[in-house]
Amino acid sequence: MATAITEGIKISLEASYQKEFSNPNMHHFVFTYKVTIQNCNPFTVQLLRRRWEIHDAAESLKLVEGEGVVGQQPVLEPGNSHTYLSGCTIKSGMGKMKGYFYVEKLNDGKMLTVTIPEFQLIANIFNN
């Protein structure tokens, strides 16, 4: 599990290779990842945007940017957390992801840039 705390926001991630949805012969490797965002601050924040960097050993960098996470822009009161599951595909069995969440402090409108820690995408193609 990868974990980082930036601006009082704790991000924890765990990735899993999805063998049943992958096809190594066609260079198609599917991964899911579980993200938990916890607000450790004494103020409420709202996640507005995300920016992912997906590094694939077989390709160059792919950037994915957009509003919220899986169609939501969660509001996190002090001490609360939000967990979601998402996924990605890469062409090789090895890669990594990292990025940023952009959150707003709801008490004063200040924007915070929160680091999404780097985590590995490794296909365990030899395991049953």
Give which of 33, 3, 2 is closest to 17, Cα–Cα.
Answer: 33
pLDDT at residue 128, as a whole number: 45
Encode pLDDT of 4-25 as tens digits: 999 999 999 999 999 999 999 9
Indicate the class that CATH gives domain 2-122. Answer: mainly beta
For the chain, the structural domain boundaries read 2-122
125 vs 79: which has the higher pLDDT? 79
Band of pLDDT at residue 85, cut at 50, 70 and 90: very high
Give which of 89, 121, 113 is closest to 11, Cα–Cα.
Answer: 113
The residue assigned the tokens 């066609």 is 26
Other Cβ atoms less than 10 A from the Cβ of 28: the count is 12
Tokens of 116: 């999404």
